[in-house]
Structure 1
Amino acid sequence: MNWSDAAAGLAEAATNRHSRWRGPVATTPRHEFIPRWWERGPEGWELHDGQSDPEAWQRAAYRDASLVTRVGQWHADRADPGDRPKGRPTSSATLPSLVVQMFQHARIDDDDHVLDVGTGSGYGAALAARRLGNEQVTSVDVDHYLVAAARERLAHAGLNPTVKALDATGDLPFDPDSFDRIVATVAVRKVPASWLTALCSGGRLVTTLAGTSLLVTAEKDPDGGATGRVEWDRAGFMHARSHSDYPPGAENVRTIAKSSDGDEVCVGQYPVVDVANAWDLSSMLELTAPGIEHEYWEHGEERGAIMAHPDGSWVRATSVGDSWPTIHQGGPRRLWHLLDACRSHWLTHGELPVRGAQVFIKPDGTTIIARGDWHVKLS
């Protein structure tokens, strides 16, 4: 495979002309970090093998797109062609422009020591090591197989940063003040206290909040906490895992929501909306009521949505044309009312307060997001 020209094209697409990340993108063989991957097909997840179709491999690896490498507990590397895994994606090779964006938000200087949280395919660690050198880059992931595979692929690319298998949301085996920058390509509900311990005073961390498109940057304060902001840019990553897979979600609750009359039936005051793709609305709702799962559909003039939570709360909203939706709700909470509260805030104030908000992180990781009179505590 003549990958050099393809990598140069990717660098042009993923970086600006004078970016210090253009060289690393242009000289890193991304295809070697993604030999196999999953794509959704008409019958579910389908396996793609690079060696069996080098041209398709090159096209996939050198476009600015994410490639799913693990679904549930199924690694693409270890799968057979007929396998059809179930569950949510649990690891991927992130689109290069987003990796670069996260590094740019970190404001990495040439002498900085960087902790890359979420090794995944190893491609992000490769870019960092290509720019900074092996000694200045440490990458961690909860998945032992991914770590071993990434080490091997990094070595094949002539790189040897430190790569460790560990749960980054727990204690970290690093001395205090070990890193100038921490960049996470996995999302967290609150910033782990161990990250603050490992970050040097004045050091900068970049992460996203789980279930949202909110990108947080913060600098460590002398008291061991950190202060920052929600950036105006959007970014989304898989939730950080502590185990081999995510805990069971609300699939059973969604099944109930599809046909049950529920405990309450009413007429909604706002149209049915595709919450998952209304990024600011989804982010606001996730901060105030985390863990809701969403479905949305359109069939002709009918629009419908389901919201479900593992605690048993659910809602089904349907409408035809421009009519107000019929709302069925059940369980301990009224999820549609929580959504409507977010939409009312938007209409009343002209925007939602989440983007551009201030972020205050206590030494124990408790995270407070505030803007004007609005605030929420993530703990």
Structure 2
Amino acid sequence: MSDIGLDWEAHARRLADDQHLRPESPWWGPVTSTPRHIFVPHWWERGTNGRVVRRGTDDPDAWLKAAYSNDTLVTRLGTLHADHAELGTVIPYGTWPTSSSTLPTLVVTMYRHAMPGDDSRMLVTTGTGYGTALACRRLGDKQVISVDIDDYLVQAAADRLSSIGLHPHTTVCDITKSLPDQVDRIVSTVSVRPIPPSWLTALRPGGRLVTTITDTGLILVADKTKDGGAHGFIANDKASFMSVRHGDDYPPAPDNAGLWETAQNAEGESVTTGRYPVMRVSDTWDVRSTLELTVPGIEHRMDVGKDGTRTAYMLHPDGSWARAEASGRRELPTVQQGGPRRLWDELDRIRTWLVIDGDLPVSGAAVRIDPDGTCHLKRSGWSATIAPR
């Protein structure tokens, strides 16, 4: 793909500076020498009524601004790639992104945690191919394997990589299944839960994996052990990636319409006053992540009325629900709960731990991974297990 004469090098250097990378960093060179715009010629941008497709060559200045910002650029919504969308296409909000070019800071953060040596063979996830390009610049393209489940994404990325002289091994595969080769590092910019056993099989002795846990903000770093499992830790950094998918799109979300109606209108089996003001759980990472490990699968919704009334809802597939309503940001809510579990009580227990200790043990927790992928997290008397579903 032509760069139509764009002066991208100065933008790439500014991007490296924005990431506080110094020239002596092993990632400064890859960031400053990789033309990110080549990998995102089209992307989905937020509009008034939904996401609209943008084409870089129509507005080179906007293309450079978007491509060299430290932002994630969505490139696929549902089954529609931005490369294939007609100009003027608007996709209403509610359609889940299924591929993107991850913000560069986060790609570098994941690679830093991987700590590859100069001779490391590293497997990465493809997406647009930008992260693959950074890995190739750092290690050499023959040391990089790039995989994705989407054959178009893999081919498009391979073509764009080739256009800048990079020829890593690319292949179409489900990353949770058998991997194409033995490697020293696995870095996944899609989230998984639990760790696929195939990763442990593919890692060479002492190899390292870096990934995120689905529906949390947790980066997991672990080194393979002699028993075929791995030991590691939850990093202090936070990250959120799209969940791994096993087909062309994600399966339909559970139909919570009936439970949503109940949560909005029903009188609770338990009616209490909450310990803390209403919080937007989805905007936290430590509270949300701890709650997800404690009670997986909660859906969070929130309404803020014109009068300042704040109402938070929690819905769970087992039929549990909670509604917490307060007249303002600092007011304690009236909490109504129903179903087999008291979801808001679980949230308040986590918030109490945070108030008392100043942090939550999920950050910095020790991790042990069994050969079947089951993850055991432990810190400060707290523990959680992430088992195969």
TM-score range, shorter-chain basis?
A: over 0.9
Q: Contact 1:15 / 1:97 at 8 angstroms: preserved in 2?
A: no
If the length of structure 1 is used for normalisation, what is the TM-score?
A: 0.94
Q: Within 5 Å, which residues of 2 pair with 1:60-139?
A: 60-80=66-86, 81-85=88-92, 86-116=94-124, 118-139=125-146
Q: Which amino acid aligns with 1:362?
A: D
Query: Please, which of 2, 5, 12 is the counterpart of residue 10 of structure 2?
Result: 5
Q: Which amino acid aligns with 1:14?
A: Q
Distance 1:255 1:344 in 2: 27
Q: Which residue of the partner structure matches residue 165 of structure 1?
A: 172
User: Which segment is superposed worse, 65-74 or 325-334?
Assistant: 325-334
Deviation at 1:367, TM superposition (A): 0.5
Distance 1:130 1:283 in 2: 34
Deviation at 1:164, TM superposition (A): 1.1
Q: Deviation string for 1:214-247 (max 9, x for gaps)?
A: 1111111111110001111112211111122222
Q: Within 5 Å, which residues of 2 pair with 1:1-379?
A: 1-17=6-22, 18-80=24-86, 81-85=88-92, 86-116=94-124, 118-174=125-181, 178-250=182-254, 252-253=256-257, 255-256=260-261, 259-261=264-266, 263-267=268-272, 268-299=274-305, 300-321=307-328, 322-379=330-387
Q: 1:46 to 1:313 in 2, by over 3 A?
A: farther
Q: 1:79 to 1:220 in 2, by over 3 A?
A: same
Q: Contact 1:50 / 1:57 at 8 angstroms: preserved in 2?
A: yes
Q: Contact 2:147 / 2:170 at 8 angstroms: preserved in 1?
A: yes
Deviation at 1:251, TM superposition (A): 5.6
Unaligned runs of 5+ in 1: none
Unaligned runs of 5+ in 2: 1-5
Q: Contact 2:287 / 2:350 at 8 angstroms: preserved in 1?
A: yes
Q: Deviation string for 1:104-151 (max 9, x for gaps)?
A: 1111111100010x2111100011111211110001111222111111
Deviation at 1:257, TM superposition (A): 5.2
Count of aligned positions: 375
Q: 1:88 to 1:328 in 2, by over 3 A?
A: farther
User: Which segment is superposed worse, 101-110 or 307-316?
Assistant: 307-316
Q: CA RMSD in A?
A: 1.8
Distance 1:76 1:256 in 2: 35
Helix, strand or coil at the partner of 2:177: coil
If the length of structure 2 is used for normalisation, what is the TM-score?
A: 0.91
4+ long deviations beyond 6 Å: none
User: Which segment is superposed worse, 145-154 or 248-257?
Assistant: 248-257
Percent identity of equivalent pairs: 50
Deviation at 1:258, TM superposition (A): 6.0
